[in-house]
Chain A
Amino acid sequence: MRRLLYFLPLVLFAGIAVYFYLGLHRDPRAVPSALIDKPVPDFALAPLAGRANGRETAGLATADLRRGEVTLVNVFASWCAPCRIEHPQIKHLAEVLKVRVDAINYKDKPEAALDWLVRLGDPYGRIGADPDGRAAIEWGVYGVPETYVVDRQGVIRYRHVGPVMPHDVEQVILPLLRRLGR
């Protein structure tokens, strides 16, 4: 009986090793996003006050994303430094690659956001102003910037957390847009 005790470390380790093996096939980083492959949540946002000069002046709501067009929804704020870093890529997507990009302006002051767009360029279609971040909660946003790919039927297909960098455009977003038939 006492001899069996000496086998205890071996037995315990065997159990742990099995768990290690099972754990290898899981991705601990994949924070489950409840909204992937789900329809866009219900939300309706007023337009960004003062935005005019020939652009769409409507706000952004659920229905706008169900119009049979693949759309990028970019969550940004004028106070967010990484948003400035990703902005050239967003502009490239909208202006050169002609992807429809709508935006949610997150917890921002309209005049600051307008000033930001004037200085850095305004590539967006519709912009919904979300001053208190309520719509962003519906989307499950936990920081700016975030970018979502919404397909023709208004289903969220991809969520990008953090700034969209050139390699993200090349390696993830464009292939996905191509698959979605844009």
Chain B
Amino acid sequence: MITEIGHLALILALVVAILQSSLPLYGAAQNRAALMQFARHAAIGQLGLVLLAFLATTYAFVVSDFSVMLVANNSHSAKPMLYKITGVWANHEGSLLLWILILAVFGAMVAGFGRNLPPTLRARVLAVQAMIAVGFIAFTLFSSNPFTRLWPPPIDGKGLNPLLQDPGLAFHPPFLYFGYVGFSITFSFAIAALIEGRVDPAWARWVRPWTLWAWCGLTFGIALGSWWAYYELGWGGFWFWDPVENASFMPWLAGTALLHSAIVVEKRDALKSWTILLAIVAFSLSLIGTFLVRSGVLTSVHAFATDPARGVFILVLLVIAIGGSFALYAVRAPTLKGGGLFQPISREGALVLNNLGLTVALATVFLGTMYPLFLDAMGSGKVSVGPPFFNSSFVPIMVPVLVAMAIGPQLAWKRGDLAGALGRLWAAFGAAAGIAMGGMLLTGGGDILAVLGLAVVGFVLMGVAIEWAERVRLFQAPLAESWRRARAIPRAAYGMSIAHSGIALVMLAIIATTVWRTEVIQVMRAGEQVNVAGYEFAFEGVRDLNGPNYQAQRGTFQVARNGRFVATLEAEKRFFPVENQATTEAAIHTTWFADLYAVVGDPDGSGGWTVRLYHNPMVPWIWIGAVVMVMGGLVSLTDRRHRVGAPATRRRRAIDHGMPQAAGD
């Protein structure tokens, strides 16, 4: 019964979305206030209906109602409750429902918080948002219905892919979708601006917080996914340039570029049509990411079950959404008036360099991801493009972007003074040179590229510190004066500094762990010892044990350093009989500056086990750095200038209080 209510709610949500995608557009064109106002009520109503549908599905999972086909196929009564709930979105149908729910949440947020948007812009944004909802709800109802019943119901479910029964991956999709869907808002704003034929600094100011939200969600989602891959896949790596990883990374690159170009639109009224294009591209890549993961076009460890019929449906959606918006862009973008001019050496110039670098990097990743598909479609055979391609093409492109990250904030808008900026950065150059020379001496000139990379990281970190010190006139003015200045710096500037430091930390960790990792793969018997980067790993053997829905073989290592106990590592191989799948549970002990990482492989038949032991220096800082980046984004979001004209809202509320009859709008 509850399942049928959910089904009905989703059908009603489709009807509401169809109305919301058409009436407000007409209203905005004809300047009819009632029709434009309808968009707000529809967006909030849609959230209620979609939430109902989502809760109905969650309920079916929680009570293990196996008469619902989705539950029977993806759940099992013996599964822990946490994974019954996360199982809702750990499959194709349910994850679409989650996607639609987040879309509705964002729509309702625009309706709720967008009070001070011009009514025509708000109506159009919500209408475009509803068009996306129509596409996705129709796709769900017609080709991937989560409410289909199964008769007779099976006695128990088929279970959930054991790889997905993990806290890291359980919460990876919601954040990723938060990012993907967040870009739908900027996309809707871009399309609405093209329809209106007007992009101004006010528009950019409205768009930026949404971009930031989406960017934070996506950054955190990608970090969670990479953390999961690190401890679950048992290869000791954190990023594999897998097509599905790239599918989430490409919108991130586009979104990061958008974040920066929107600043230029807001401050200088320039780069308008480029920013619009980036907004369209960021969301298009989110859609393409969805398409790649679900259509079976590319193979990957993360892919959902593949189904060509669904693939065709998504492809049609893609063509309508992306093709339609690019067509609109082609017609309308040339009419956008360019604004402020600027010299190449200026804050704008640095931001353009950032955009150029990110876009080229994006194109590289896109090409590397799609090349196997292109070749296969032409019938030229199967190839796979691996990490060597990405590492040798992506990394060099990012180096100038990083350097610009330190210099850019030192430059003035419009026309900058490069010599002056570089002069102020003398300490950063000193730090970089010091790291480079120290590194050369320590490594004996062995890892020149790594040392240079670390020098760039040092340059960036110092650059961030110098920029802040300059702003507060640290040591140039009395401390009280510096303190006053520090409190007066806008939050957005702090956000930038924090996020840039986060990037530098991530780079530092990636370089250190890639170059200085120690890896030992060998057969060990119980009682044997092996030395990994100064740590003694004593193997105590493997024993069998039973988990709630799996059987495991657990290998135990006692780790010591200079004879002093450090940690007990218990690595497992788990076999899930219901799903007929095995997983590796790596054992990880972190010292914050390095991870000790152990994986147990197969027995050799005579009492020995293949074991893989790693010492991964700095690796936790990849994720700490990512969290720092997200914090930067969040701090920036608290900037009062971002609370889209906060004073206006306050004034409005005061009026509402004064006249109760006006509060019911």
Contacts and interface: CB of A to CB of B under 8 A. Distances in A.
Interface in B478-531: none
Contacts of A27: 296, 306
A80 interface: yes
A23 B580 contact: no
A120 interface: no
Nearest to A163: B580
Given A6-B329, A24-B308, A85-B575, A112 B323 contact: no
26 contacts: A10-B323, A10-B326, A10-B329, A10-B330, A13-B323, A13-B326, A19-B370, A19-B373, A19-B377, A21-B312, A21-B315, A22-B378, A23-B377, A24-B296, A24-B297, A24-B311, A25-B308, A28-B376, A28-B382, A77-B605, A79-B602, A80-B602, A81-B553, A81-B575, A81-B582, A108-B605
B606 A9 contact: no
Contacts of A179: none
Interface string A6-33: 1101100110110111111111110010
Contacts of B330: 6-7, 9-10
Contacts of B326: 9-10, 13
A178 interface: no
A165 interface: yes
Contact of B319 (A17, A22, A23, A78): A17
A119 interface: no
Q: Which of B377, B553, B606 has the most CB of A within 10 A?
A: B377
3 closest Cβ pairs, A-B complex: A79-B605, A22-B377, A28-B299
B273 interface: yes
A98 interface: no
B373 A79 contact: no
A23 B376 contact: yes
Interface string B303-324: 0001010011001001100110
A9 B553 CA distance: 53
Most chain A CB within 10 A, of B296, B297, B299, B319, is at B297
B294 to A, nearest CB: 11
A82 B582 contact: yes
B605 A19 contact: no
B603 interface: yes
B439 to A, nearest CB: 41
B327 interface: yes
Contacts of B277: 9
B333 interface: yes
Interface residues of B, number: 45
B374 interface: yes
A32 B164 CA distance: 28
Q: How large is the interface on A (under 10, 10 to 19, 20 to 34, 35 or more residues)?
A: 20 to 34
Nearest to B382: A32
Given A10-B329, A82-B582, A26 B377 contact: yes
Interface centre among A3, A19, A85 (most CB of B within 10 A): A19
B354 interface: no
A16 B292 CA distance: 12
Nearest to A107: B605
Given A17-B323, A78-B605, 16 more contacts: A6-B331, A10-B326, A13-B326, A20-B291, A21-B312, A23-B297, A24-B297, A24-B312, A26-B376, A27-B306, A29-B296, A29-B299, A80-B602, A81-B582, A109-B605, A109-B606
A80 B610 CA distance: 12
B295 interface: yes
A4 B603 CA distance: 64
A1 to B, nearest CB: 11
Contacts of B273: 6
A17 B315 contact: yes
Interface of B: 273, 277, 280-281, 284, 291, 295-299, 306, 308, 311-312, 315, 318-319, 322-323, 326-327, 329-331, 333-334, 370, 372-374, 376-378, 382, 553, 573, 575, 580, 582, 602-606
Nearest to B608: A79
Contacts of B334: 2-3, 6
Contacts of B280: 9
Contacts of B319: 17
Contacts of B312: 21, 24
Interface of A: 2-3, 6-7, 9-10, 13-14, 16-17, 19-29, 32, 77-82, 85, 108-109, 112, 163, 165
A29 B308 CA distance: 13
Given A6-B334, A28-B298, A112-B606, A16 B370 contact: yes
A3 B374 CA distance: 29
Contacts of B322: 13, 17
A96 B550 CA distance: 29
A165 B581 CA distance: 11
A28 B297 contact: yes
Nearest to B277: A9
B377 to A, nearest CB: 4
Contacts of B333: 6
A29 B575 CA distance: 23
Contact of B318 (A7, A20, A79, A82): A20
A19 to B, nearest CB: 5
Contact of A165 (B306, B331, B370, B580): B580
Contacts of A112: 605-606
Contacts of B331: 6
A136 to B, nearest CB: 16
B323 A14 contact: yes
A58 to B, nearest CB: 24
B440 to A, nearest CB: 43
A26 B381 CA distance: 11
A13 B603 CA distance: 50
Given A10-B329, A23-B373, A81 B323 contact: no
Nearest to B297: A23
A138 B604 CA distance: 23
A22 B326 CA distance: 22
A128 to B, nearest CB: 17
Contacts of A22: 377-378
A85 B311 CA distance: 35
Contacts of A26: 376-377
Nearest to B577: A85
Nearest to B273: A6
A28 B301 CA distance: 12
Nearest to A7: B330
B88 to A, nearest CB: 25
Contacts of A28: 296-299, 372, 376, 382
A19 B323 contact: no
Contacts of A108: 605
A109 B602 CA distance: 15
Contacts of B318: 17, 20
B286 to A, nearest CB: 14
A13 B277 CA distance: 13
Contacts of B311: 24
Nearest to B310: A24
A26 B296 CA distance: 9
